[in-house]
Structure 1
Amino acid sequence: MMEIETERLRLVRFEQQHAPELFRLMNDPDWLRFIGDRGIRTVDDAVRQIEERYDVHHREHGYGFCAVLEKQTSNLVGLCGLIQRDTLPEIDLGYALLPEFRGRGYVQEVARACLDYARDHLGRNQVLAIVNSDNQRSISVLVRLGFVYRGPYRVPGEERDIALYVWQA
């Protein structure tokens, strides 16, 4: 089971109690712009997302998207984790934070811990990241983490290319 602690944060599996914040995150204008509309219209939809997507991925793979909690407050600040997408040959790093927690270095901290987990616990020497080409903040995070731009990538069923980045251990 993927549980990670950093200096300021804890990654834990999503639980139903996290659904209100997950609902808010997945309806944030930046999420909708850069990640896309996942059809989460109610808190109950967020509960289903946790049960039918996040929990299932954890059961099948032993890792997945996790709730990112501040250690001091136990507030949910966002999500981060590793997932195996059907459309990618390697595991993918994903992350998003609620607006009030951005700009504190949390993504860098928690994403680095996920990469360490991929290398040390999953034996992965390569992790991918896909990002909207105009999401400069996210691209900057990836570059600081050591990801290298691989080129444009078209997710099957999508209308436009996104950027594919690769991290090597």
Structure 2
Amino acid sequence: MSRDVLATDRLRLRELDERRDSAFVLELLTDPSFLRHIGDRGVRDLDSARDYIRNGPRASYAQHGFGLWMVQARASGEALGLCGLLQRDSLPAPDIGYAFLPRHWSRGYAREACAAVRDHALGALKLPRLLAIVAPDNAASIRVLEHLGLRFERTFVNEAGEALHLYALDAAAAPRG
């Protein structure tokens, strides 16, 4: 069963459910834009999508109290993407992560969902710092992060050998809303 976490004027963010959301996760994680900008998560079929939800987001909810959440349109209930917080072993603070299906791009959903997650992270969860990682050539995501108040901190090479940009926002400097 999934529970609601956040809501905005147009969006509802809720916990992922293995049975209910596996088809959407399969579609999103195998989309060419996801594979290009985020990477291959090994999801190939409904069983591996259920495993991804169970061992990724749901395990994170239990361990950290946050994770990636389903983003749905409030009016229609249509699944649009994922947005939430990730605690990576390779980073010193949680980072905001998001992905939307291309048919939902350029409508402000990423900005709206990410702003709600930022405010939740720094407000309700009282995180002192929020990070984000992004491929240097992902200009649209960089614009979203900068709109949220995150600023470029440095370039680093991840465990897969990819150069990524690290963005950061300290709670004291965070815009709200």
What's the counterpart of residue 129 of structure 1? 132
Q: Deviation per CA, 1:108-129: give whole Å up to 9, x if none.
A: 0010000100111111131000
What's the counterpart of residue 6 of structure 1? 8
Distance between the aligned counterparts of 1:14 and 1:165, measured in 2?
Answer: 26
Distance between the aligned counterparts of 1:3 and 1:127, measured in 2?
Answer: 18
Displacement of 1:83: 1.4
Distance between the aligned counterparts of 1:10 and 1:99, measured in 2?
Answer: 19
Q: Deviation per CA, 1:7-65: give whole Å up to 9, x if none.
A: 10011000121111111100111100010111100021111111111111100011110
What's the counterpart of residue 55 of structure 1? 58
What's the counterpart of residue 165 of structure 1? 167
Distance between the aligned counterparts of 2:155 and 2:143, measured in 1?
Answer: 17
Q: Deviation per CA, 1:75-133: give whole Å up to 9, x if none.
A: 11000001111110001000000111111100000100001001111111310000011
Displacement of 1:158: 1.4
TM-score (norm 2): 0.92
Distance between the aligned counterparts of 2:86 and 2:124, measured in 1?
Answer: 14
Task: Provide the aligned length of Structure 1 versus Structure 2.
Answer: 168
TM-score (norm 1): 0.96
Displacement of 1:167: 1.4
Displacement of 1:160: 2.3
Superposition pairs for residues 40-51 of structure 1, below 5 Å?
40-51=43-54
Please, which of 74, 82, 85 is the counterpart of residue 77 of structure 2? 74
Displacement of 1:168: 2.2
RMSD of aligned Cα (Å): 1.2
| Percent of residue pairs identical | 37
Superposition pairs for residues 29-40 of structure 1, below 5 Å?
29-40=32-43
Runs of 4+ that moved beyond 4 A: none
SS at match of 2:113: helix
